[in-house]
Structure 1
Amino acid sequence: MRWVAFMPLRANSKSIPDKNIRSIAGRPLFAWSLEQAITSQCFDEIYVATDSPKIRKIVLEEFPSAVKVLDRSAETCTDTASTESAMLEFHQQISFDVVSLIQATSPLTRADDFRMAKHRFVTDNLDSLLTAVSSKRFFWTKSAIPINYDPANRPRRQDFEGCLMENGAFYLTRAKLLRETASRLGGRIGIHEMTAETAIEIDDEVDWIVVEQLLLRQKLKSNRGTSQIKAFILDVDGTLTDGGMYYGSDGEALKKFNTRDAHGLQLLRENGIKVCVMSSEDSPAVAARMKKLNIDDYYPGIKNKFEVLQSKAKLWRMSLLDVAYMGDDLCDLECISRVGAAICPADAVPEIMQRAHYVCTRAAGHGAVREACDLILGKNLGMTITSLKNNS
């Protein structure tokens, strides 16, 4: 059987301008799920269909040999055109037995999802398959009619089986079914259940923010994870401080620090994680702060931070992958690019944010360092997508 993957990408996204090619966690949105499809090795060929020369160019830059790009007609790119119309147009050009429709708006899809879905499709001799997530929410119609439970016998959450919610990550469809019904689903239908965080399809800016943080955490965990971190090295101005310059009545330069950041660094040291602070400036105010915090590994006036990073790792007899680094500006770029866990404040420069494994929700001088410390200690990794969504 010939298996192909198909991702339709159109220009002029309505909800978020240029959504499909906008950078999220350092890569174009479409690249995340396409890369996982490639990694899965489930497909004989992978295609993107688009009406945009700009999208075509970016897709081929990301995947010069692994993905083929086809033209998509204007008729299948209107606001009222169905995705099935794009699938049928694709099938007129490409022969296949089974097609996987992949949605760019579900970047948390993993290679194992494709593998497990394909296995179920083949084993159960399915005609089509959809992806879904488990939901234990109680649903109602707008006419106040319950859909999936009896209010008179309201079940406890732990006793409620709930239901499966279609998440739109990807679909598997036999060519015969698509031709005969012009639908992606029909015949003998199966479901591949995915993890809870994949419930979000990116449709607005709130979705974007939540999913980007999940992708960054995913990158951080895949890069050895925070549980392996043995040392934390960080910058001062724009990281430990808010980057502002303050002056006393006598003209003395002052710095603003956050007490929660200091406590976070103390917690790291109490848990056996080494802490080192370096700065490109030589400030008496910073020196005084380091002395108060009993941080002996403080290096002021450093022009080449990566040299210090290397020397400290060598002295500590650990790999750079055992080190977390936090910085905010271009002078931190080489360090950010070489360590096992790269972290930056919410207001870091764009170049740093693109390279970081994790972008803090807090700004420099306002608890960003404490957030990084908590992440390294593993205090926030269990947060579910439900709580993230409810608090957004």
Structure 2
Amino acid sequence: MNVFEQAAKVRLMGFDIDGVMTDGRLYFSTEGDFCKAFFSRDGLGLKLLAKSGVKLAIITGRDSPIVTRRAANLGIGLVLQGIEDKREAMASLLEREHLTMAQCGYMGDDLIDLPLLKVCGFSATVPDGHPLVREHVAYVTQAPAGRGAVREVCELILRAQGNWDRVVAPYLA
């Protein structure tokens, strides 16, 4: 099965945060606060994918109020933070949503993501993802993490499912 056939079956798409939605760098202040930078075009890609009917999830190893805020801003209600076993977390989420592993996709970049990436129906990573991750995914983006990689995956799924023209039509009117 090719990457478009895999992407066409996605009903729930999950994303890691650090190294996927962000460039992976963490900025710490002297007070111990930290921040992350998100790319606005990735955000619109996520909104377009959700508009097409694909459910969105965030499954990340770090627990951060910044992620909670970004997810709320994007309308992503399925947010699992502080997760060590992402495969088990996705399996539980899919059970609640009445979906199968073949109907989900995940985008991650590091070894912690690999167990999930190897079993989901569609998998993606970024160009600087860990070499073992790049070996085991269906799709490696051209765009870098935190700079359009998420948008690229969202558009790939939209095109594979035949929804691209419909979701962009309002912008062309």
Match of 1:256 in 2: 37
Which amino acid in the other structure matches residue 325 of structure 1? Y
SS of the counterpart of 1:315?
Answer: helix
Misfit runs of 4+, over 4 Å = none
CA shift digits 1:99-128 (9 cap, x unpaired)? xxxxxxxxxxxxxxxxxxxxxxxxxxxxxx
The structure in which a higher percent of residues are strand is 1
Match of 2:135 among 348, 354, 370: 354
* SS state at 1:237 partner: helix
**Which residue of 1 is the match for residue 167 of structure 2?**
none
Offset at residue 316 of structure 1 (A): 1.6
CA distance in 2, matches of 1:373, 1:348: 18
Aligned to 1:268: 49
Structure 1 stretches lacking a partner, 5+ long: 1-217, 382-392
Cα shift at 1:298: 0.6
Mapped pair 1:220 → 2:3? yes
Report what 1:373 is aligned to. Answer: 154
- Report what 1:319 is aligned to: 100
- Amino acid corresponding to residue 288 of structure 1 in structure 2: R
- Tell me what 1:306 maps to: 87
The one-letter amino acid paired with 2:26 is M
Letter of the structure 2 residue corresponding to residue 357 of structure 1 = A
Query: How high is the TM-score relative to the length of structure 2?
Result: 0.87
**2:28 matches 1:247:** yes
> Partner letter of residue 273 of structure 1?
V
Summarize deviations over 1:160-184 as a string: whole Å, max 9, x none: xxxxxxxxxxxxxxxxxxxxxxxxx
Task: Point out the structure with max Rg over C-alpha.
Answer: 1
What SS is found at the alignment partner of 2:17? Answer: coil
Q: Specify the SS of the correspondent of 1:272.
A: coil
Greater relative contact order (Cα < 8 A, sep 6+): 2
TM-score between both structures, scaled by the size of structure 1: 0.40
Correspondence for 1:234 among 6, 12, 15: 15
Which is helix-richer, 1 or 2?
2
Cα offsets for 1:311-356 (capped at 9, x unmatched) = 1111221221111110000000011100111111111000000001
- What secondary structure does 1:232 align onto? strand
User: Aligned match of 2:120 in 317, 321, 339?
Assistant: 339
Q: Please tell me the root mean square deviation across aligned C-alpha atoms, in Å.
A: 1.7
Task: Give the CA deviation at 1:225.
Answer: 2.8
Report how far residue 249 of structure 1 moved. Answer: 6.1
Q: CA deviation at 1:287?
A: 1.8
Query: Quick one: distance in 2 between partners of 1:291 and 1:247?
Result: 23
> d(CA) in 2 for partners of 1:274 and 1:337?
20
1:238 aligned partner, one-letter code: G
Matched, 1:282 2:63: yes
In structure 1, how many angstroms separate the alpha carbons of the residues matched to 2:7 and 2:20? 19
Q: Among all aligned residue pairs of Structure 1 and Structure 2, give the percentage whose two residues are the same amino acid.
A: 34
- What letter is aligned with 1:297? L
The residue identity in structure 2 corresponding to 1:287 is T
Cα displacement string for residues 347-373 of structure 1 (whole angstroms, at most 9, x for unaligned residues): 100000000101000111011000000
